[in-house]
Amino acid sequence: MTDVLSDVLDTVALKGAIYFRTDFHPEFGIAVPAYGRAARFHLVVQGSCFVTLESGHQVRLQAGDLALVPNGAAHLLSSSDTAPASPLADVMSQAGFTGSGPFVVGAGPDGASCQMVCGHFTFADGADHPLLRSIPDILHITAADRASRPMFDDVLRLLVRRMFDGEPGAAATVGRLSEVLFIEAMRAGIAQAPDIGRLMSAVSDPQIGKALTLIHADVAAPWTVERLAAAVGMSRSRFAERFSHLVACGPMAYIAEWRLQRALNALAGASSPIKTVAHNVGYKSAAAFTRAFTERFGRSPKESRRPA
143 and 21 in a single domain? The answer is yes
Q: pTM for the complete prediction?
A: 0.89
| pLDDT digits 0-9 by tens, 140-159 | 999 999 989 999 999 999 88
What pLDDT, on the 0 to 100 scale, is given for residue 1? Answer: 54
Q: Does position 86 have pLDDT exceeding 60, yes or no? A: yes
| 131 close to 183: Cβ distance less than 8 angstroms | no
Mean pLDDT of 234-255: 98
Domain-embedded: residue 199: no
What pLDDT, on the 0 to 100 scale, is given for residue 308? Answer: 53
Q: Which of 167, 193, 219 is the last residue of a domain?
A: 193
Domain-embedded: residue 200: no
CATH (domain of 229): 1.10.10.60
What pLDDT, on the 0 to 100 scale, is given for residue 168? Answer: 67
What pLDDT, on the 0 to 100 scale, is given for residue 260? Answer: 98
Average pLDDT value for the chain: 92
What pLDDT, on the 0 to 100 scale, is given for residue 244? Answer: 98
**Torsion 219-194-132-176 (CA) sign:** negative
CATH (domain of 79): 2.60.120.280
182 and 280 in a single domain? The answer is no
Q: Which of 193, 227, 244 is the last residue of a domain?
A: 193
283 and 225 in a single domain? The answer is yes
182 and 214 in a single domain? The answer is no
Domain-embedded: residue 55: yes
The CA distances from residue 132 to 99, 182, 199, in Å, are 28, 11, 10
Q: How many CA atoms lie within 13 A of 291 on its CB side?
A: 5
| 13 close to 97: Cβ distance less than 8 angstroms | no
216 and 186 in a single domain? The answer is no
Domain range for 299 is 205-304
Domains identified in the chain, total number:
2
77 and 173 in a single domain? The answer is yes
What number of other Cβ atoms are within 10 A of residue 268's Cβ?
Answer: 14
